[in-house]
Chain A
Amino acid sequence: MIRRVLHRPPSPHLVFTKSTYHSYEHERTSPFTPPEDAVLSAGLAQVPKLGFTVDALAQGARDAGYRDVSINLFPAGPFALVHYHLVTQRRALASKQLEQGTSVDSKIRKLALERLHANAGIIDRWQEALALMATPSHVPSSIRELSLLADEILFLVGDQSVNTSWYTKRLALSTAYASSELFMTTDKSPNFTETEAFLSRRLLESKKLGTSIHSTTTWLGVQSMGLVNGLRSKGLRI
Chain B
Amino acid sequence: MHPIPRLQTPIFDFLLPSLSPQLCRVSRASITTSTASPPPESSPQALQSTSKAQRRRPLSREQKQFLDSALRVNHAGELAATLIYTAQTPPIVKSHPHLRSLMHHMYAQEASHFTTFSNLLAKHRIRPTAMYPVWTVAATALGWGTAMMGREAAMACTEAVETEIGGHYNGQVRVLLKWVKEMEDRGEEVGEEITELVRTLKRIRDEELEHLDEAVEQDAKNAGGYTFLNRVVRSGCKGAIWISERI
Contacts and interface: CB of A to CB of B under 8 A. Distances in A.
B132 A10 contact: no
A33 B65 CA distance: 22
Contacts of B57: 26
A76 to B, nearest CB: 13
Interface string B177-207: 0000000000000011100000000000000
A215 interface: no
Contact of B246 (A10, A166, A167): A10
Contact of B128 (A7, A23, A162): A162
The size class of the interface chain A forms with chain B is 35 or more
A163 B132 contact: yes
A10 B125 contact: no
Given A162-B118, A237-B91, A20 B247 contact: no
A20 B122 CA distance: 12
Give the interface residue-count category, chain B.
35 or more
Interface in A12-37: 12, 14-17, 19-26, 29, 33, 36
A170 to B, nearest CB: 9
A161 B57 CA distance: 30
Given A10-B23, A10-B245, A15-B247, A21 B59 contact: yes
A167 B65 CA distance: 19
Given A162-B75, A164-B132, A23 B124 contact: yes
B5 interface: no
B193 A162 contact: no
Contacts of A14: 246-247
B231 interface: no
Contacts of A20: 61, 64-65, 67-68, 126
Interface string A129-160: 00000000000000000000001000100011
A238 B124 CA distance: 41
A10 B246 CA distance: 5
**Chain B CB within 10 A, most for which of A14, A160, A163, A167:** A163
B69 interface: yes
B28 to A, nearest CB: 12
Nearest to B17: A31
B38 interface: no
B25 interface: yes
A9 B23 contact: yes
Given A151-B125, A238-B91, A23 B65 contact: no
Residue among B25, B65, B123 with most chain A CB within 10 A: B65
Of the candidates B58, B94, B127, the one having the most CB atoms from chain A within 10 angstroms of its own CB is: B127
Contacts of A161: 122
Nearest to A13: B21
Contact of A21 (B25, B126, B246): B126
B193 A166 contact: no
B56 A25 contact: yes
Contacts of A19: 125, 127
23 contacts: A11-B246, A15-B127, A15-B246, A15-B247, A16-B127, A17-B127, A20-B68, A21-B67, A21-B124, A21-B126, A22-B123, A22-B124, A23-B124, A23-B193, A24-B123, A25-B193, A155-B125, A160-B118, A161-B122, A162-B75, A162-B128, A164-B132, A164-B133
Given A9-B23, A10-B69, A232-B90, 19 more contacts: A6-B242, A10-B23, A10-B65, A11-B21, A12-B65, A15-B127, A20-B68, A20-B126, A21-B59, A22-B124, A23-B64, A23-B124, A160-B119, A162-B121, A162-B122, A164-B128, A164-B133, A232-B94, A238-B148
Interface of A: 6-7, 9-12, 14-17, 19-26, 29, 33, 36, 73, 151, 155, 159-164, 166-167, 232, 237-238
